[in-house]
Amino acid sequence: MENRILSVGSKFPEFKKTAVVSLQFGKEFDTITSECHKKDGQWMVFFWWPKDFTFVCPTEIEEFNKNYEEFKSRNTMLLGGSTDSEFVHLAWRKNHPGLKNLKFPMVADTSKSLCEELGILEAEEKIAYRATYIVDPEGTIRWVSLNDLSIGRNIHEVIRVLDALQTGELTPCNWEKGEDVIKIVE
């Protein structure tokens, strides 16, 4: 059976999942839904990793966390997730020095239903690929990046693409925030 990966222009699936949240919320677990970013008119970056307690995954999670304020300043909700349970997420956060102070929720897709709907479930082990979605405030997928299980992603590229999407303009190759966009003269 071949995956059909939801891509640009598709609606991000509706979901309601348990997540490990920052203790700044006064609790360890909370419910995260597909409506959370929409009700506040925010963009959403939702990134997935294959498994907790692995080697490449914490490097990415730590880097997203280091750049949390960059996402927040762009009116963007940052979510991370895997098919591990909220209890595994919590244990990993408590035992990994680089994950103790995460500022964004770690979503648990233990049923694998959201990964299946997104088409990012690896066939053999039934774990998530390293997928990253940028979703606009209306819930439309505007960018997707999918990496092989062994390859870490570039968080700065996620931010660069988010900046480009938020301009609403045409942006040339290698465009960076603050540079000129392409203007069509009619």
CATH at residue 47? 3.40.30.10
pLDDT of 25 above 70 = no
- The amino acid at residue 66 is K
Q: Annotated catalytic residue: which of 36, 57, 115, 173? A: 57
Does 127 fall in a domain? yes
State pTM to two decimals.
Answer: 0.93
Give the closest residue to 81 by CA, choosing from 95, 92, 97.
Answer: 92
Range of the domain at 106: 16-153
For position 1, what pLDDT does the model report? 44
Mean pLDDT estimate for the chain? 92
Give the closest residue to 55 by CA, choosing from 94, 22, 92.
Answer: 92
Does 3 fall in a domain? no
Does 5 fall in a domain? no
Backbone angles phi, psi at 65, to 5 degrees: -65, -40
With contact defined as beta carbons under 8 Å apart, do 132 and 144 qualify? yes
Does 175 fall in a domain? no
* 36 tagged catalytic: no
Domain count, the chain: 1
pLDDT of 176 above 60 = yes
Report d(CA 68, CA 47) in Å as an integer. 13
